[in-house]
Amino acid sequence: MHRELSFIDRALISIDHGMRTVFGAPTTSERPDPAAHLPEADLTDRERRAAARLMRVNHAGEVAAQALYQGQSLTARLPEVRDKMERAALEENDHLAWCERRGKELGGHTSLLNPLWYAGSLAIGALAGRIGDKWSLGFIVETEHQVVRHLDDHLGRLPPSDVRSRAILSQMKNDEAHHATTALEAGAAPLPEPVKRLMTLTSRVMTSTAYWI
């Protein structure tokens, strides 16, 4: 028999999810790693450091994405919208695992500021969900569109021979575009331009910081 979860239940689940995302091993959909069967490139030390930093940025972005989805799911009004948030969050966990694994292969580490990225994004997501489901979905659409552009930039900056990192980012790009399409089909409202610009500025602060820390 299915029991309807209360807000307190969902809040406790969200806290557990956050602890797993930042400090542990979050639940994934168990899709295969796109880089699993690809050869390791013969990278120079400089190329390896640059690729590791890009993967750290992408991992930090996925930490923030998890928090956004959790915050929005926590305050979403319609169960079907909440279900879409939770499904998207599970797929984002795949990205989280892939980026962390690849970053470590390259000799890098995850961002030391991940708790900050998670806390800030959780608050933003909860606020977006509180404003209304159609605006929360619109927030997802704009976020995913910005992430796709960001991934395109990283694909252009990766060493050409780094096919393992490239395969991961390409799959992530496909998934993010799908999440945007799903949110649009669910009734997303377009966000005002000032909000989009603020989101772009916030993203730039996070990505430029995570590249180094």
Provide the domain count of the chain.
1
Which residue from 122, 92, 121 is spatially nearest to 15, judged by alpha carbons? Answer: 122
Whether residue 30 lies inside any domain: the answer is no
Q: What is the DSSP letter of 38?
A: S
Instruction: Please give the distance of CA 126 from its chain centroid, rounded to a whole number.
Output: 16
Q: Domain holding 189: CATH number?
A: 1.20.1260.10
For residue range 60-116, list pLDDT tens digits in order. Answer: 988 888 888 778 777 766 666 667 666 767 777 888 889 999 999 999 999 999 998
Whether residue 97 lies inside any domain: the answer is yes
Which residue from 178, 93, 84, 193 is spatially nearest to 134, judged by alpha carbons? Answer: 84
Q: What is the pTM of this model?
A: 0.85
For residue range 109-139, list pLDDT tens digits in order. Answer: 999 999 988 888 888 888 877 887 888 888 8
Q: Which domain holds residue 206?
A: 43-210
